[in-house]
Amino acid sequence: MSHFKLSFRMLCRDWRAGELNVLVLALIIAVSGMTTVGFFAERVELALTRESNQLLGADLLVISSQPLPEIYAEEASRLGLTISSLTKFPSMISDGENNLLTEIKAVTEGYPLRGRIHLASRSSMSRTKQPEITIANTIPQPGTIWVDEKVMARLDLKANDMVDVGAAQLTVAELVVREPDHSVGFINMGARAMINASDLSETDLIQEGSRVSYQLLVAGEVKMVQQFRDWIKPLLTKAQRVEGIRDARPEIKAALERAEKFLSLAALASVVLAAAAIALAVRRFTQRHLDGCAVMRSLGASQRQLFYLYWHYFITLGVIASTIACLIGFAAQQILASWLIGIVDTALPWPSWLPALQGLLVGLVLLVGFALPPVLNLRSVPALRVLRRDIGLSNAHSLAGYLLGLVTLSLLFIWKAQDLKLGLYIVTGFVSAIVIFGCLGWLLIKVLSGLRHQAGGAWRYGLASIHRRAISSILQAVALGLGLMSLLVLTLIQNDLIDDWHASLPPDAPNHFLVNIQADEVQSLQEFFQQYEIEPPPMYPMVKGRLIKINGKNISPKNYGDDPHAERHIRREFNLTWASELSSDNQIVQGAWWNADTHEAELSIEEGIAKTIRVKLGDELTYDIAGSHFTAKITSVRKVDWDTFRANFFVVVPPGQLDNYPASFVTSFYVPPAEIAMVHELVRTFPSILVVDVAVVINQVQQMIQQVSQAVEFVFLFTLLAGFAVLYAAIAATQDERIYEAAIFRALGARREQLSRAWAAEFAILGGLAGLFASAGASALAYVISKHVLHFDYTFNPWIWVVGTLAGVIGVLVAGLLGTRSALSSPPLLTLRKIG
């Protein structure tokens, strides 16, 4: 009979005889848990990206200062993507008397491809009352213009008024309350209006040399969008660039990337749990199959034959069980998804098959990784065991057996993490944890067993049992500890991640910026705030300067011809500011902040811009400020948390350095929506100050973060549930010996109550050890991951020790007692015969 056929036959026989129950249960729970998390995390990730793309109006933008070649749109259509285009430029809008510099956006049919335009209903086109919001289902009709509240207010317009836009006369048709691509940045914060692209030629505004941004909007399936991006990249000229949400919105990028890392962390945690359960279940399997192998060897099976027999056996088992698990995982995530949709009101995109494939592979690889070494051992079971039952496998063999499993697991981690750094941190963390837990476990068991003579009845028996099965107890404590540790790490990080997001954008995050405040207005502006009983916000001075020299060498945009992003920065003016103290959302990463009384010409630069314009600590930068030159040396490089929505600057110098240059001031503050009248009053009192309302953007980001947090919490809770199920399966995998012993004890007259107390003591000690290991490991790993991978401050939480240890004790106790319950209620002889 071929190996495969025989192994399949043996598999069927073992299955029928109930030999595979625990292994299959562990495998199915573990893989389906992991697949559910995988599917669900992918759907959430896709949904988050799609949601965030609404802030861009598309999945991808191709932006150029020159008209875009037709071939771009053609290729996008060929790939099945939907397209639209817009042309954006600054122009004056006039109502005949007043002019207002406005950003005009000429759009074509289909705009926006993602997100919606929110309009104030015509009846409420007035600034005095809260408007009723409707969703636009079209774009402005030819001959009409949609304007935002700034245009309405400053030109004092109402519905059906006529305005001049260049040579065209257009009718004011709608008031735009919110549009998708309303981005943050001083350049984009002025008044905005939207017209139909067919009116563009009539305006006669687009001339040679006009400052125009031509944009092609693209949306569709993630894969096709990526394909389009890959296709277009080599064709882009210097004037063209491609932007996805992550290029355009750094604050969204940071939130998304952290969420993604967390989701992959959750997926990794599920892999650890799966590994713990499978490792323990395989151990049980091999122990139960020692005799069978010895018999087969005595009946003439060669080592090679036994190896192939079990090799095919586990591959077949792995494929079947993992496939079933993947199907269960798919069904489970579907249930989860329909539940989540009810909560966050977001459609979840359909996932790819990748999580299923990953689940299948991980199940198979884990099974083979942990099963193969014991199988290699099984084939070398001394055939003499048929005559001498005391001959088995040495523990050294069993321990070495886990090595291949661990190596496989490490490779899986790095693959699953999809991030080498995260993967390596976790692998190092877990491998160190295994070594430390193992050694600690050995020591603790030694110490505890020394105490057993002082302990009472049940405890003495529990300690004695643990000591007698020292290696097995250590393995169990380490495996359970690792599983629990991955859940605790997830708990700690999830809490901190969500707190950090909420803290970065508290409900009172500044929602208005004031730009272009003149020095002589600062005093009266502060008094204005006091009138409204608002603490005057700090005013940041701002001096505009163009970078002209680096280390005395002249530079021009041409020097950065290979990097359009850098080129744009050199072409534009930088906003320089001064400050004596480092603001709280800034962090020095290189060099040192200056003394308050410094008179040196020094400056501090933001790390991203330093990299873009290729300067480093110690370089000397020269700016042209209103015709004069200002030179200073970089003495520090800062990291700026851009997602706080506070005024921040690329370049900061010490106070006094820029006193001789013309400065304006900028500030930001929070106004509750109900008190918006104060802003209108401010506009009237200080007509030259530009008021930028970022409430809409803040709102979008806050909503986004809310959704990300909910998604993260949801995935976390599910992983937690799956985790406990897996730990239960792991405990069930270690019950045989206890059940057998119990039968002997009962045969010798032990009462059920005595036995269950003794077991409870043993499980409590084991759970306590696992919980203690898990708490220690989780605190250390969460610290490392928070600091080096997710980049936020980790807060040490002493409660984790209490929670971890208690979870270990209670979890193992409950699972253990449930697992041994049947042995207590069935007659001892039955148990003895079942096992013997």
Partner 1 sequence: MLDNRVDQPILWTHALTKQVNTGDTQLTILQDIDLQVNAGEAVAIIGASGSGKSTLLGLLAGLDLPTAGKVHLDAIDIFTLDEDSRAALRGKVLGFVFQSFQLLPALTAIENVMLPLELSQQNKDAETIARRLLERVGLAKRLDHYPKQLSGGEQQRVAIARAFATDPKLLLADEPTGNLDSATGIQIIDLMFELNREHGTTLVLVTHDEALSQRCSRQIRLADGKLVQ
Binding site for partner 1 (CB under 8 A): 1, 6, 9, 13-14, 16-17, 19, 291-292, 294-305, 382-384, 386-389, 833-834, 836
The encoded tokens of residue 609 equal 């811009």
Which is nearer to partner 1, 15 or 794 (by Cβ)?
15
Q: How far apart are the first and last CA of the chain?
A: 29
- Give the nearest distance from C-beta 376 to partner 1 in angstroms: 14
Angle between helices 736-747 and 799-825 (to 10 degrees): 50
| Per-position b or e across 471-494, b if 16+ CB within 10 A of its CB | ebbbbbbbbbbbbbbbbbbbbbbb
Residue number with CB closer to partner 1 (380 or 756)? 380
What lies within 8 Å, CB to CB, of 786 at 6+ separation is 493, 496, 792, 793, 794
Residue whose CB is less far from partner 1, 296 or 613: 296
Nearer to partner 1, 308 or 370 (CB): 308
Least Å distance, CB 702 to partner 1, is 60
Residue with smaller CB distance to partner 1, 262 or 307: 307
Q: How far is the CB of 387 from partner 1 (least distance, A)?
A: 5
Closest to 289 in 3D by CA, of 204, 211, 402, 374? 374
For residue 729, the minimal CB distance to partner 1 (Å) is 20
In the complex with partner 1, the residue whose CB is nearer, 69 or 382, is 382
Please report how close the Cβ of residue 293 comes to partner 1 at its closest, in angstroms.
10
Neighbours of 661 (CB within 10 A): 17
Q: Where are the alpha helices (DSSP H) in 66-181?
A: 70-78, 149-155
Of residues 397 and 639, the one with the C-beta less far from partner 1: 397
Containing 231, the helix (H) or strand (E) segment is helix 222-232
Q: How many CB atoms neighbour CB 698 within 10 A?
A: 20
Alpha carbon 106 to its chain centroid, in Å, reads 36
For residue 267, what are the contacts with CB-CB under 8 A and spacing of at least 6?
A: 34, 37, 38, 41, 416
Q: What are phi and psi of 233, to 5 degrees?
A: -50, -50
- Whether residue 294 contacts residue 383, with contact meaning beta carbons closer than 8 Å, is answered with yes
CB atoms within 10 A of CB 748: 8
* Closest separation in Å from C-beta 18 to partner 1: 8
Nearer to partner 1, 292 or 557 (CB): 292
CA atoms of 449 and 798, how far apart (whole Å): 28
Beta strand pairing call for 540-550 and 620-625 = antiparallel
- Contact partners, residue 366, CB within 8 Å, separation at least 6: 30, 271, 274, 275, 278, 405, 408, 409, 412
User: Phi and psi at residue 557, in whole multiples of 5°?
Assistant: -55, -25
Minimum separation from the CB atom of position 1 to partner 1 (A) = 4
- In terms of phi and psi (left: phi > 0; alpha: psi -120 to 50; beta: otherwise), the region of 115 is left
d(CA 835, CA 436): 34
At closest approach, how far in Å is the CB of 5 from partner 1?
8
In the chain, the amino acid numbered 254 is A
Compute the distance between CA of residue 314 and CA of residue 318 in angstroms, rounded to an integer.
6
Enumerate the H helices of 617-735 as residue ranges: 677-685, 695-732
Q: Is the Cβ of residue 214 or residue 314 nearer to partner 1 in the bound state?
A: 314
Q: Residue 518, class by beta-carbon neighbours within 10 Å (0-12 exposed, 13-18 middle, 19+ buried)?
A: middle
Q: What minimum distance in Å lies between the beta carbon of 449 and partner 1? A: 24
Alpha-carbon gap, residue 607 to 244, rounded angstroms: 22
- Give me the least distance between CB of 305 and partner 1, in Å please: 7
**Cβ closer to partner 1: 302 or 628?**
302
Nearer to partner 1 by C-beta: 216 or 290?
290
Beta bridge partners of 542: 664
Q: How far is the CB of 759 from partner 1 (least distance, A)?
A: 24
Query: Least Å distance between CB 374 and partner 1?
Result: 17
Q: How far apart are CA 835 and CA 628, in angstroms?
A: 92
Nearer to partner 1, 23 or 189 (CB): 23
Q: Supply the minimum distance, in Å, between the C-beta of residue 298 and partner 1.
A: 6
Nearer CB in complex with partner 1: 304/629: 304
Give the nearer residue to partner 1 in terms of CB position, either 263 or 296.
296
Least distance in angstroms from the C-beta of 413 to partner 1: 34
Nearer to partner 1, 76 or 293 (CB): 293
Is the CB of residue 678 less than 8 Å from the CB of residue 700? Answer: no
Find the length of the chain: 836
- At a CB cut-off of 8 Å and minimum separation 6, what does 18 contact? none
State which residue, 15 or 745, has the beta carbon closest to partner 1. 15
Nearer to partner 1, 292 or 349 (CB): 292
CA dist., res. 746 & res. 831, Å (int): 10
Tell me, what DSSP letter sits at residue 533? T
Of 384 and 407, which CB lies nearer to partner 1 in the complex structure?
384
Q: Give the β-pairing of 628-640 and 191-196.
A: unpaired
Q: Is the peptide bond before 112 cis (omega within 30 degrees of 0)?
A: yes
Q: For the CB of residue 377, give the shortest distance to partner 1 in the complex, in Å.
A: 15
| Helices H / strands E in the chain, number of each | 23, 22
Query: Residue 367 Cβ, how far from partner 1 at the closest point, in Å?
Result: 18
Residues 28 and 324: beta-carbon distance below 8 Å: yes
Cβ pair 824, 742 in contact under 8 A: yes
Of 533, 538, 502, whose CA–CA distance to 671 is shortest? 533
